[in-house]
Amino acid sequence: MSQYTGAFNRRTFLSTVGAGLLASPLAAEAQQAAGKVYRLGILSPGAAPGPSVPTISNLLPAVLRERGYVERTNLVVDRRFADDKPDRLPGLARELVNVRPDIVVALSGQAVQAARDATAVIPIVMVIAADPVAWGLVTSLSRPGGNVTGIALNYETGLVGKRLELLKEAVPRAARVAVLGSGSLASSAQFREAQKAAEVLGLKLVPVEIRDTDYDRAFATIVAGRADGLLILTGPTFVRDRTLIVDRTLMHRLPAISASREFGEAGALMSYGDSNLDASRRLAIYVDKILKGAKPADLPVEQPTKFELVINLKTAKALGLTIPPSLLLRADQLIE
């Protein structure tokens, strides 16, 4: 287990990623020499992020350069964003299919469903925080069948419950924890998992649904609910809005934990899970294999097994918290 101090400045992530990718120009030149121009579609349920925000829609084209696919040279990227309105996804999926991409990357279960309804031929690479078999998106994880494969994050890993457990360990006095989610929390598998964990931990949950990115209203509800901490569920716009969210957690002195390490780096107390950069690199492997002739039906769905615990000691100090040594020893990164 490795420990580091200091946080990566995500505002400069594109230049950092780009610098490393320039080290492999021969692969890019080989692709260009072949004269083939590839077309990649990206379908997201969220809103369009700024160019410096470390979302998968920004990171994936950047990391594809490692494999010789250079945007505006031999790679065309068509992005469609639903602006947190799931009912827009079917129409956007049809728009993407109409431009005839070589691959569509879909960034949620609903996005995958919309893309698959729009085409049974174009390969679809997914990243989904749910069980793709239960959703009917693939036949099995080992042999997906059809035209869909990709990554199933947080599936059968108990990660939501583990985050709640870690938050309770860091803040033993916590009795009420707010749960921030997008869309309908009542039908959310993540929230149901949190409820099961809360019963074991003796915690009362305060569910808060974010609508139209109204974080002031959401945090007013959290404060009114007398929450002692905050569990941030995975959502299509939360990484983009992490600074807005983290600023409010600090303002209201709320210890918060999220799946994305980008939150810990932005100032949340903790994160436990994956990073968008790591997910993008794994997606790029699928994209590369399919562009080279592999069939989605034959590429197993990946379930990440390694997750990183990030603890922001600067935030802990600001909140007056002393992180237990047992928790510090398990951290993969300590931010000071």
Domain total for the chain? 2
Let me know whether 34 and 181 are in one domain: no
Terminal Cα distance for the chain, rounded: 18
Domain residue limits at 259: 159-273+308-335
C-alpha 329/C-alpha 171 separation (Å) is 16
Average pLDDT, 10 consecutive residues per value, the chain (336 residues): 39 45 43 73 91 89 95 95 91 97 94 96 92 91 95 74 96 96 73 92 94 90 96 83 95 95 93 87 96 96 87 97 96 93
Backbone angles phi, psi at 267, to 5 degrees: 125, 0
pLDDT, residue 6, reads 41
Does residue 294 sit in the same domain as residue 331? Answer: no
Q: Is 2 a domain residue?
A: no
Q: Are residues 266 and 282 in the same domain?
A: no
Q: What is the CATH number of the domain that holds 215?
A: 3.40.50.2300
Q: Per the domain annotation, does 225 fall within a domain?
A: yes
In order of 164, 243, 291, 298, the CA distances from 178 in angstroms are 10, 18, 43, 41
Same domain for 108 and 216? no
Q: Which helix (H) or strand (E) covers residue 164, if one does?
A: helix 159-170
pTM as predicted: 0.76
The answer on 127 and 87 residing in a single domain is: yes
Q: Are residues 75 and 149 in the same domain?
A: yes
SS3 letters across 42-81: EEECCCCCCCCCCCHHHHHHHHHHHHCCCECCCEEEEEEE
77-121 pLDDT, tens digit per residue, is 999 999 888 899 999 999 999 999 999 999 988 999 999 999 999
Structure tokens given for 207: 């569910």
What's the CA angle centered on 242, arms 236 and 247, to 5 degrees? Answer: 150
Residue 262 lies in a domain: yes
Neighbouring residues of 226: CB distance < 8 A, sequence distance ≥ 6:
176, 206
- Report which DSSP code applies to 253: T
148 strand-pairing partners: 124
Model pLDDT for residues 119-175, shown as the tens digit of each residue: 999 999 999 877 899 889 999 999 999 999 999 876 555 789 999 999 999 999 999
* Residue 3 is assigned to a structural domain of this protein: no
Q: How many angstroms separate the CA atoms of 197 and 179, rounded?
A: 12
pLDDT of residue 154: 63
